[in-house]
Structures are given as C-alpha cells and as structure tokens.
Amino acid sequence: MTRTRRGASSRSSLRCIGRAETHAGGTRGRSADEMNAAVKNRPKSVLFACTRNIVRSPMAEGLGRHFFGKDVYFASAGVKRGQSDGFAIAVMDEIGIDLSKHQPHTFEDLEDASFDVIVTLSPEAHHKALEFTRTLATDVIYWPTLDPTAVEGSRERVLDAYREVRDSLLDRIKKFLGYQPMGNL
C-alpha cells in the first residue's frame, strides 16, 4: 500500500506515509480507548477508484456501505466508463449486497471532489487520483488489486477470481476503517 498526502500547500511534493496508519490487527485485543480512537480518526468520506468502475471500485463501495452504513460516505469512480459486469453483481449478491443498480461513472462525473481519502485499486486510477487531487488536501492510497476480468477459464474459475478480489477488498476495508462488529447485547 502506498499512501500519499496531497494538499494545496504542497502542490509539488508528495509525502509517503506507508503502512503505519492501517490497522493490521483488527479489533481483537484492543482496548476500548484504542477502538474509540480508531472510530474517531476514521475518514468521513472515501472514494474508491479503478480503471472502468465496473468491478473493483463498485465492490469496495458496496462493501463499505454494507459494513459502515451512514458512518462513512462512500463513492466510486473510474478513469473511463465501462459496462456493468454480471460476475461482479453475482459474487456480491452471494453475500447479500446488490450491485445491480450500479451505474459506472468517471472522476469527471463526481458531483463533489471533497473526499478525505481516495483509495485507488489500479495504476491508472492512482495516476488519475494524484492528478485529480493536486490542489486538494486529500489522502491518496494505492491498494494494488487484481483485475478479475483478465482471468480466463471456466465460469467457476472466473467466479473464484472475483470472489478473491471481493474478499481481499473486504479485509482491507475492515482493517483500514477499524471495523468493530456488534457484540452480544
């Protein structure tokens, strides 16, 4: 993961922050104060970006909304517009998340550019996000993520590739945003 901080005061320089700000251990073994700090420091708005906004970024947006509800605003965009992907819709439906109404769109389609964090999932999206945020105080984080549309083979093999991407994104999102499941009440 590469994390870059962009701001109006540092237009020509990038500061790499690295992995230090991610939560690798989840919530087990953390004190109530640590968990409250994780929630308090959680970004309020996250944009997920990939190349065509048809698989990786809509999956990440759907997972974020599912697990964090209205605590965090999530959106997704692509460098270019693609067509809806049936495999992405199918693997998200397996876990109860409906992507069938997702309409792919680009950075230029965004109504608001004010995000606390942009998580890029492809090299093209990372370059676009850096360009997009050159005058904004927005963190840009790169999570290299396999493009499952490139996988060939049987239907089950392709679905497995999509599931791997979904599950990998889910783990990263939960760790990054400090997911805290509700305990027994």
pLDDT tens across 93-112, in order? 999 999 999 999 999 999 88
Question: For residue 84, what pLDDT is reported?
Answer: 93
Letter for the amino acid at 2? T
Three-state DSSP class for 60? Answer: helix
Other Cβ atoms within 10 Å of 154 Cβ, number: 8
| DSSP H helical ranges for 75-149 | 86-93, 123-132
Q: Which residues contact 182 (CB under 8 A, 6 or more apart)?
A: none
Task: Please report which confidence band the pLDDT of residue 180 belongs to, taking 50, 70 and 90 as the band edges.
Answer: confident
> Which one is predicted more confidently, 182 or 126?
126
Of 15-19, 30-34, 65-69, 125-129, which gets the smallest average pLDDT?
A: 15-19
What pLDDT digit, counting tens, does each position of 116-157 carry?
999 999 999 999 999 999 998 899 999 999 999 999 999 999
Task: Please report which confidence band the pLDDT of residue 7 belongs to, taking 50, 70 and 90 as the band edges.
Answer: very low
Task: Please report which confidence band the pLDDT of residue 12 belongs to, taking 50, 70 and 90 as the band edges.
Answer: very low
As a whole number of angstroms, the distance between CA 78 and CA 81 comes to 6
Pull the structure tokens for residue 12: 């020509």
Pull the structure tokens for residue 58: 């809509």
As a whole number of angstroms, the distance between CA 164 and CA 118 comes to 22
Three-state DSSP class for 120? Answer: strand
Q: Using alpha carbons only, what angle is made at residue 90 by residues 86 and 93, rounded to the nearest 5 degrees?
A: 135
As a whole number of angstroms, the distance between CA 114 and CA 91 comes to 30
Mean pLDDT for the chain overall: 83
Three-state DSSP class for 154? Answer: coil
The burial class, CB within 10 Å (0-12 / 13-18 / 19+), for 2 is middle
Determine the average pLDDT of the residues in 70-93.
Answer: 96
What pLDDT digit, counting tens, does each position of 56-66 carry?
999 999 999 99
- For each of the domains in the chain, give its residue range(s) and CATH number, in order of start: 2-177 (3.40.50.2300)
Question: For residue 113, what pLDDT is reported?
Answer: 84
Q: Based on DSSP, count helices (H) and strands (E) in the chain, helices before strands.
A: 5, 6
Question: For residue 177, what pLDDT is reported?
Answer: 93
Question: For residue 147, what pLDDT is reported?
Answer: 97
What distances in angstroms separate CA 145 from CA 113, 121, 125, one per listed residue?
A: 23, 5, 11
Task: Please report which confidence band the pLDDT of residue 181 belongs to, taking 50, 70 and 90 as the band edges.
Answer: confident
Determine the average pLDDT of the residues in 68-74.
Answer: 92
